[in-house]
Structure 1
Amino acid sequence: MTWVKTSKKKFYLHDDESLLDGLLRTGHDIEYQCREGYCGSCRVRCITNSHPVEYPFPPLAMIEEDEILPCCCRVQGVIHINHEPIIT
């Protein structure tokens, strides 16, 4: 089971649920478009994580070392993210 902590709440992901879908299900306001790692509009900052964040395929969107793409990343264990929009 994967637990997600944000400034808004703590929740778990359902089996085979993406981080993006979990955030949307729990009322977080997350920007997204492609859902496949191409656009990068869903990127959030990863504050801490108990397991490495993985991607089934390398995303094409440019992200910083402390950022993840909730639409296509795979998370396990416990992860703490800043879900507020990243301003560049």
Structure 2
Amino acid sequence: MANSTINLHQSGSQLDYPVDSNNLLEALEQHQIAVEYQCRSGYCGTCRLVLLKGEVDYLTQPLALIQEGEILPCCCKPRGDIAIEI
């Protein structure tokens, strides 16, 4: 995967998506960005974030209900540059 940039809307920060990250939640943790989570596998929805721009690919289909524009970072990776509300 080519390097992707994660844009954090509230702070204006731009982070590189580490190529060794298994998912977006792990990438955020590697940058010391705290995200609440419970299951880390798409069941509970606790880590739900709003995707403002870009697209993600799900590694496993989330079982938690998500609305249009929401993502579960525990089970997805960015498909290029993204912007999230955090």
- Bigger strand share: 2
| Residues 57, 79 of structure 2: 8 Å contact kept | no
SS in 1 for 2:73: coil
| Alignment counterpart, residue 28 of structure 1, candidates 30, 33, 42 | 33
| Alignment counterpart, residue 61 of structure 1, candidates 61, 64, 76 | 64
Where structure 1 has 5 or more consecutive residues not aligned to the other structure, the ranges are 84-88
SS in 2 for 1:54: strand
| Alignment counterpart, residue 78 of structure 1, candidates 57, 67, 81 | 81
User: Shift of residue 29 of structure 1?
Assistant: 2.0
Could you report, residue by residue, the CA deviation over 1:24-82 in whole angstroms, capped at 9, with x for unpaired residues?
A: 22222210111110010001000011xx3221221100111110000101212110000
CA RMSD of aligned residues (A): 1.2
The residue number in structure 2 matching 1:86 is none
Where structure 2 has 5 or more consecutive residues not aligned to the other structure, the ranges are none
Q: Tell me the distance in 2 between the aligned counterparts of 1:65 and 1:72.
A: 16
TM-score normalised by length of structure 2:
0.85
Q: How high is the sequence identity, in percent, across the aligned residues?
A: 40
Q: Tell me the distance in 1 between the aligned counterparts of 2:79 and 2:56.
A: 8
The residue number in structure 1 matching 2:24 is 19
Q: Tell me the distance in 2 between the aligned counterparts of 1:58 and 1:36.
A: 9
TM-score normalised by length of structure 1:
0.83
